[in-house]
């Protein structure tokens, strides 16, 4: 099994993209210069002649903070880079980040503040399935673009119910199918089991897994309020599970592997992109034991990853110059990829962007993002990616396995090899209309 080289860089993940659609006539109209000195060209919240204000909710504190707080910092760094290059159509991006502690009640509060007090143009990359579920209806009722949700739940791909919401992460059902397909090919006689979060994330990934594997030997659930997975890992061991698929966010992937090690329970472990980033997991497990426990870990991913990839090289440069040379992980790639995708959508929304025009830009199918498979946004599809590659950790390096990029649907269709090309870097990562 050969793999394209790459020191662990990658993010699961989790991701979010929503925009405002049909709405009630926010037609562009000329106005005098605004208080910021720019010529305000329309009555669209968050838009001036010189800036675009957007916001997000994300865990900067609490149990999920260590795993995901670097995402918004990476996105902010890309926007600083973009602003230094002149922004998008002459407008610089103002990115307002609010801490929700991964608590749905707090998410509701901070999102309403962003919309009603900060008057943001859009909510971009709100993080988490349980948290964003608390605000998706509100944002659509207010006709606020809800872009690139940091989650792969199927909830974000409901164009009729939620016309302003678009996802960013690979749909969890697709991801589950791709992981299960690869593992079944490699381990045809295994006893397959699942450890999953007790929400739509865990349910959707498990749905995809079962479409490929059928009935599982065992399934175990946990709540994010848990501090221990001893009972769940013990049950998997007792059931004789030999391949365990994890619908877990990063902290709980680490807890699962650490708990299994304490129980002397060897198994093949496979994680979703939301919980399989090697550098982040080493951060939880520690440099002394992390590399040993993570050896052989299988994960799915859908964004540029290899060390010599041109997107990765650009993001490393941006990270050094605009993010204080913070640790470069999958979170870094994820945050910057998402931010680039927003800039691409904004560039296609016209010289005088409105909430409706950015939604229409996504519905047009012209926004490609920068994945290893091109984005497939359309009027009928609000999910970005249809495919993913498989990564394996070997001797401290997490890398894509050559030839293991697949596409599939979120229904019962087959998992098929992807024969196309990844989206190439152009324009120094600054999208042109």
Q: Tell me if 166 is assigned to some domain.
A: yes
Per the CB < 8 A criterion, the answer to whether 75 and 68 are in contact is: no
Give yes or no: residues 64 and 164 share one domain. yes
**pTM for the full predicted model:** 0.85
CATH classification of the domain holding 249 = 3.40.50.2300
* Last residue in a domain, options 273, 301, 329: 301
Give yes or no: residues 85 and 117 share one domain. yes
In tens digits, the chain (433 residues) has pLDDT values of: 434 433 333 333 333 333 332 233 333 333 333 333 333 445 899 999 999 999 999 999 987 888 889 999 999 999 999 999 999 999 999 999 999 999 999 999 999 999 999 999 999 999 998 999 999 999 999 999 999 999 998 899 999 999 999 999 999 999 999 999 999 999 999 999 999 999 989 999 999 999 999 999 999 999 988 889 999 999 999 999 999 999 998 999 999 999 999 999 999 999 999 999 999 999 999 999 999 999 999 999 999 988 889 999 999 999 999 999 999 999 999 999 999 999 999 999 999 999 999 999 999 999 999 999 999 999 999 999 999 999 999 999 999 999 999 999 998 899 999 999 999 999 999 998 7
Per the CB < 8 A criterion, the answer to whether 274 and 142 are in contact is: no
pLDDT, position 224? 85
What is the sign, positive or negative, of the torsion defined by CA atoms of 32, 36, 42, 43? Answer: negative
Cα torsion 243, 385, 69, 428 to 10°: value is 130
Q: Tell me if 405 is assigned to some domain.
A: no
Query: What gap in Å lies between CA 236 and CA 192, rounded to an integer?
Result: 10
Give yes or no: residues 26 and 166 share one domain. yes
CB-CB neighbours of 161 under 10 Å: 11
Give yes or no: residues 125 and 187 share one domain. no
Per the CB < 8 A criterion, the answer to whether 169 and 178 are in contact is: no
What are the two backbone dihedrals, phi and then psi, of residue 414, each rounded to the nearest 5 degrees? Answer: -75, 160
Give yes or no: residues 129 and 96 share one domain. yes
The parent domain of residue 85 ranges over 16-171+306-386
* Last residue in a domain, options 240, 273, 301: 301
Give yes or no: residues 137 and 227 share one domain. no
Give yes or no: residues 180 and 270 share one domain. yes
Question: How many residues make up the chain in this entry?
Answer: 433
Give yes or no: residues 266 and 221 share one domain. yes
- Kind of pairing between the strands at 218-222 and 192-197: parallel
- How large is the greatest C-alpha to C-alpha distance in the chain, in angstroms? 71
Q: Tell me if 252 is assigned to some domain.
A: yes
Cα torsion 310, 316, 317, 322 to 10°: value is 140
Give yes or no: residues 127 and 152 share one domain. yes
Query: What gap in Å lies between CA 305 and CA 334, rounded to an integer?
Result: 10
* Last residue in a domain, options 272, 301, 330: 301
Q: Tell me if 432 is assigned to some domain.
A: no
Q: Tell me if 421 is assigned to some domain.
A: no
Give yes or no: residues 38 and 176 share one domain. no
Q: How many domains does the chain have?
A: 2
Query: What gap in Å lies between CA 300 and CA 289, rounded to an integer?
Result: 23
Give yes or no: residues 42 and 83 share one domain. yes
Give yes or no: residues 282 and 312 share one domain. no
């Amino acid at each position: 099994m050969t793999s394209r080289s790459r020191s662990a860089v990658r993010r699961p993940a989790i991701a979010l993209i929503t925009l405002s659609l049909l709405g009630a006539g926010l037609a562009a109209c000329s106005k005098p210069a605004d208080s910021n000195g720019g010529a305000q060209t329309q009555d669209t919240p968050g838009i001036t002649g010189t800036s675009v204000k957007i916001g997000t909710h994300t865990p900067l504190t609490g149990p999920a903070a260590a795993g995901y707080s670097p995402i918004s910092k990476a996105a902010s760094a890309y926007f600083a880079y973009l602003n230094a290059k002149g922004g998008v159509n002459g407008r610089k991006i103002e990115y307002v980040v609010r801490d929700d502690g991964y608590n749905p009640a707090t998410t509701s509060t901070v999102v309403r503040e962003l919309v009603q007090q900060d008057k943001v143009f859009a909510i971009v990359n709100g993080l988490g399935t349980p948290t964003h579920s608390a605000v998706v209806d509100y944002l659509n009722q207010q006709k606020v673009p809800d872009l690139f949700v940091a989650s792969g739940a199927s909830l974000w791909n409901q164009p009729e119910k939620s016309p302003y919401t678009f996802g960013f992460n690979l749909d969890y059902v697709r991801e589950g199918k791709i992981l299960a397909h690869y593992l079944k090919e490699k381990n045809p006689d295994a006893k397959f089991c699942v450890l999953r979060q007790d929400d739509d994330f865990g349910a959707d990934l498990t749905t995809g897994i079962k479409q490929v594997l059928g009935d599982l030997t065992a399934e175990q659930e946990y709540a994010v309020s848990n501090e221990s997975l001893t009972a769940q890992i013990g049950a998997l061991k007792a059931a004789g599970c030999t391949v365990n698929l994890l619908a877990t966010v990063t902290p709980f992937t680490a807890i699962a592997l650490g708990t299994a090690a304490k129980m002397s329970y060897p198994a093949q472990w496979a994680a979703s992109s939301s919980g399989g980033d090697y550098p982040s997991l080493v951060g939880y497990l520690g440099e002394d034991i992390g590399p040993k426990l993570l050896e052989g870990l299988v994960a799915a991913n859908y964004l540029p990853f290899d060390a010599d990839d041109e997107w990765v090289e650009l993001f490393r440069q941006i990270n050094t110059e605009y993010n204080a040379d913070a640790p470069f992980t999958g979170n870094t790639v994820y945050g910057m990829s998402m931010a680039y995708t927003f800039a691409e959508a904004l560039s296609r929304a016209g010289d005088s962007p409105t909430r409706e025009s950015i939604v229409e830009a996504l519905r047009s199918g012209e926004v490609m993002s920068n994945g290893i498979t091109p984005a497939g946004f359309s009027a009928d599809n609000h999910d970005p990616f249809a495919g993913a590659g498989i990564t394996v950790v070997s001797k401290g390096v997490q890398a894509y396995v050559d030839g293991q990029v697949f596409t599939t649907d979120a229904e019962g269709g087959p998992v098929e090899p992807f024969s196309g090309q990844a989206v190439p870097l152009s324009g120094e990562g600054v999208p042109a209309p």
